Structure 1
Amino acid sequence: MALKSREKKTKRRKPEKRREIKWDKLDNTAHLFPVIAGEGMSNVYRVCAVLKEEIKPELLQKALDLVLPQFSVFNSRLRQGMFWYYFEENGKKAPRVVEENTYPCQYIDSGKNRSYMFRVTYYKMRINLEVFHVLTDGMGAFNFLKELTYQYLRLSHQELGRQMGDELSVETSLNTADSFLENYRKSTSKNYHSQRAYLLKGPVFEQGKMGLLHGFMPVSQLKEKAGQYHASINEYLIAVLLFSIYKENLHGMPGKEPVTTCVPVNLRPYFNSETTKNFFAVITAVFRPEREDQTFQEVITSVQESLKDQLTREHLEEVISYNVSNEKNLMLRAVPLFLKKPAMRYVYDMAARANTTTVTNLGNIKVLPEYEPFIEQFYAFLSRSKGQNLKGCICSYQDTLVFTFSSVLKDSSLQKYFFRYLASEGIAVRIESNGVYYE
């Protein structure tokens, strides 16, 4: 009887309420990246913040632990569904911050790295954020990197922490809208046809190895020189690169194929978006080497003419509409993912032949005035992709612009010609490398 009495007094434990795991769709551009990514083509890029002091790894880890939960785009893992990949809230501890110990932009295995699709490393005074493109583009990455850097500086400088508090910057976005879908308008535009372009070839490094060359230049000098050609800095630097390919690789001779560069365009200012997901479109700068010894003026004119009609809101709307219409196609949506993959790879392989290289301009990176005394520079670079063994990335901070070449080609003569040409134009260029070409 006593035992029975105790049983009556024992309260049943309420079952623990299971935490609801959030999930999200990939944006329109992101669908491609998991399909084509692998050890040989990682689709990982890097953005960097260079400070004026040595990095304290324990504080950088603490900063990441504090910042990551606030950014749902980064606090996620990739899952494979029946018809598409999708994001799922990760919920694990933040990835471990380590000192850089290998070549940059290595493939990020979704089964490792605590299932996160980015990594944070450091080297001396530099914070590196490497991102699998499925998450976001360069602007979204810098949105996260700046907050990570702010938090680190507040932890390492107590007076700055007391002054600034622990709130996110008012300039930081947490918006996760799919701006491609928001700006989709039904269109009758046909498929975009492209011509096969001249490709940069030659002996390459072993898989995973990449050479980097950074050229640091005064923005004021570049602006003045570009103005002499009635061009923007972006147009001027793209033209210098295409001219360098024409002179160094084609030896100033005509060619059957155009020399082109893919130019990613940040769509946020065109469509009033603050999304932290991918939101960019691609346009193409073209130069056709039709005669011997064509001039730089001819090249820059060709670049400007080819970009002029593409860099309008109307054209960019057409690009968005065409890309999103494929995703919204009911027949394509019903096709299982394992059948979509080979078709997507085939389309990508065909499109990859249409560009010699890529030059992406991430613009001028601005930080809050209170943090400026602690930050020396920002820069970024890309990994190789199908048919593109060399790429360029432009990024500026205050009055210094960095043009970074990332290449898997052992020969660096093209990059040297590019920087020497700028120097001959009166631009003061300071060069840094990761040492690969001197090994």
Structure 2
Amino acid sequence: MVLATAEDFTAKNLLLDGNVTLCSEGGKGEESMGKRERSWEKLDNTANIFPVIASDQMTNTYRISCCLKELVDAETLQEAVDLVTPRFPGFHVRLRRGVFWYYLEENHKPAPRVKEEHAYPCRLIHTSRNNSYLFRVSYFRDRINLEVFHALADGVGAIGFLREIVYQYLRLAHEELRREGDGLSPETSLDREDAFLRNYRRAHKNQYKSGKAYLIRGRKLPADAMGVFHGYMSLGQIREVARNRYGVSINEYLIAAYVWAVYREDYHRLVRSGRPLRVAVPVNLRPFFASETTKNFFVMVSAEFLPQKEDYSFAEIAGMIHKSLRSQITRENLEAIFSYNVSNQDYLAARAVPLPLKNLAMRFIYNRTAAANTTTITNIGNISVEDKYRSYIRAFHCFLAFSRGQGLKATITSYQDTLVFSVSSRWEGTGIQRDIFRQIARDGIELALECNGGNE
């Protein structure tokens, strides 16, 4: 998931479009000429960059899917989306362009139309074709897909929304579940706090590594195409191998498998480049700062590997990844990272610079730092489901769209005892993906592989 320094605003700094009048800091706006009142909210610290850099080539969209044990009925799914969307203030919105800032405004249009999947995933969400919404829902056979523009929420926020859509769908589809009613689950959060602002501390230095990283190259797939591999494995089995054989976490083990595969496939080019193989790793900040926000609340740390010899073992690389990440994932360091970002926002928010000029500056900053990472690997965690729905759900998985310089990304998702390691690629070649899963299988972990055919 992309992270870049982005700008926040306060009510007193904001000048909205001509048809909206700003009210108090409480977050309500009122349209002029007697139109229906709309509430609005700020983009969070991380979200500001996404509208600026979004394009058909860099969509800033991710997908989370729920695989059921039955075929999906389109009409029932549409009814579920229609019922759930108005209950989620963070998703029942449209993106607006102000004089100085982008912001989110309540969307009074019907929920977006559910469609059967017919194209490659994570394409740009054209709001003009989507009732102005920044998410879309599709289905294919037994799978319900939620695709989200990153300005709305990170993976944690999106999981809550998808889970409620699935719950509602199952209640509508199964007589025995209808007695449960249509209320939201007690575990579902609707909190829209900008937790960055509540927790940041002033006077922090830049914590990011911005030197250029090694970038994977290859022959590209056709425009809009994406190759996706899902590797299904036992959560208990991979945990035992990671901990007992290598002394690392599951996250560190799978990052090491990716690094090992690139090292084996691209060794000569990697060495000639003289640049490190750097993996950006998003860290969910909620456990560190006691937040239940559904907005973006994460920062990036990075695992770095710069080969000094030809014969690294997988165990050596796993140990290097472990040491690199453990030293960074502390409350103090994470606070320093996002405090630097928010401090930059404070600096920029005081300047009444028109949005087009801000966009130029932000694009320049992003383009200058976009080559700092080889890839992004994110773990969205173990997805919990209420007991009464578990027997209807087979699995969850997630993957990311490409970003500049990063054409091969990976995600980790788990549900009950099944972990899914998903690799999305814009390249025709599949050598790296195959080496990743070969290493996992070599360690005795039983694997089931699934591919969308994008690389064929």
TM-score (structure 1 length as normaliser): 0.94
Deviation at 1:82, TM superposition (A): 1.1
Once the two structures are overlaid, the 10-residue window that deviates more, 292-301 or 147-156, is: 292-301
Local SS of the residue matching 2:441? helix
Measured in 2, the distance between the counterparts of 1:84 and 1:403 equals: 37
- The answer to whether the 8 A contact 1:147-1:169 is kept is yes
Instruction: Give 1:365's aligned residue.
Output: 383
Measured in 2, the distance between the counterparts of 1:391 and 1:253 equals: 18
User: What are the ranges of 5 or more consecutive residues in structure 2 without an aligned counterpart?
Assistant: 1-32
Deviation at 1:18, TM superposition (A): 4.5
Deviation at 1:252, TM superposition (A): 9.8
Instruction: Give 2:16's aligned residue.
Output: none
Q: What are the Cα deviations for residues 305-333 of structure 1, in whole angstroms up to 9, with x where unaligned?
A: 21122100101101111011111115664
Q: 2:80 aligns with which of 56, 59, 63?
A: 63
- The answer to whether the 8 A contact 2:207-2:337 is kept is no
- The answer to whether the 8 A contact 2:136-2:147 is kept is yes
Q: Give matches, 1:142-161, under 5 Å.
A: 142-161=159-178
Deviation at 1:20, TM superposition (A): 1.2
Structure 1 residue identity aligned to 2:386: L
Local SS of the residue matching 1:115? coil
Q: 1:215 aligns with which of 231, 235, 238?
A: 231
User: What are the ranges of 5 or more consecutive residues in structure 1 without an aligned counterpart?
Assistant: 1-15
Deviation at 1:38, TM superposition (A): 0.6
Measured in 1, the distance between the counterparts of 2:57 and 2:309 equals: 37
Instruction: Give 1:35's aligned residue.
Output: 52
Q: What are the Cα deviations for residues 369-392 of structure 1, in whole angstroms up to 9, with x where unaligned?
A: 000000000000000000000000
Local SS of the residue matching 2:420? strand
- Change over 3 Å in CA distance of 1:331–1:202 after alignment to 2: same
Instruction: Give 1:13's aligned residue.
Output: none
Identity %: 52
* Higher gyration radius (CA): 1
Local SS of the residue matching 1:415? helix
Local SS of the residue matching 2:148? strand
Deviation at 1:63, TM superposition (A): 0.5
Deviation at 1:74, TM superposition (A): 0.4
Q: What are the Cα deviations for residues 157-190 of structure 1, in whole angstroms up to 9, with x where unaligned?
A: 121111x221110000010111111111112324
Measured in 2, the distance between the counterparts of 1:426 and 1:352 equals: 37
Q: What are the Cα deviations for residues 363-422 of structure 1, in whole angstroms up to 9, with x where unaligned?
A: 111100000000000000000000000000000111111000101011111000110111
Deviation at 1:191, TM superposition (A): 5.9
Query: Which runs of structure 1 show a deviation greater than 3 angstroms over 4 or more consecutive aligned residues?
Result: 190-193, 251-255, 330-333
Q: What are the Cα deviations for residues 216-273 of structure 1, in whole angstroms up to 9, with x where unaligned?
A: 0111110111012111000111011101110111159745111111101111111111
Instruction: Give 1:93's aligned residue.
Output: 110
Q: 2:198 aligns with which of 182, 185, 191?
A: 182
Instruction: Give 1:195's aligned residue.
Output: 211
TM-score (structure 2 length as normaliser): 0.90
Structure 1 residue identity aligned to 2:331: R
Task: Confirm or deny that 1:275 pairs with 2:275.
Answer: no
- The answer to whether the 8 A contact 2:214-2:270 is kept is no
Q: 1:410 aligns with which of 421, 428, 439?
A: 428
Q: What are the Cα deviations for residues 102-148 of structure 1, in whole angstroms up to 9, with x where unaligned?
A: 11001012322000000000001000000000100111111100000
Task: Confirm or deny that 1:325 pairs with 2:335.
Answer: no
Deviation at 1:19, TM superposition (A): 2.7
Measured in 2, the distance between the counterparts of 1:146 and 1:251 equals: 45
Structure 2 residue identity aligned to 1:428: E
Measured in 2, the distance between the counterparts of 1:169 and 1:412 equals: 41
Local SS of the residue matching 2:144? strand
Instruction: Give 2:92's aligned residue.
Output: 75
Local SS of the residue matching 2:131? helix
Measured in 1, the distance between the counterparts of 2:335 and 2:317 equals: 28
- The answer to whether the 8 A contact 1:42-1:383 is kept is yes
Q: What are the Cα deviations for residues 274-320 of structure 1, in whole angstroms up to 9, with x where unaligned?
A: 01111110000111111111111221121112112210010110111
Instruction: Give 1:314's aligned residue.
Output: 332
Instruction: Give 2:310's aligned residue.
Output: 292
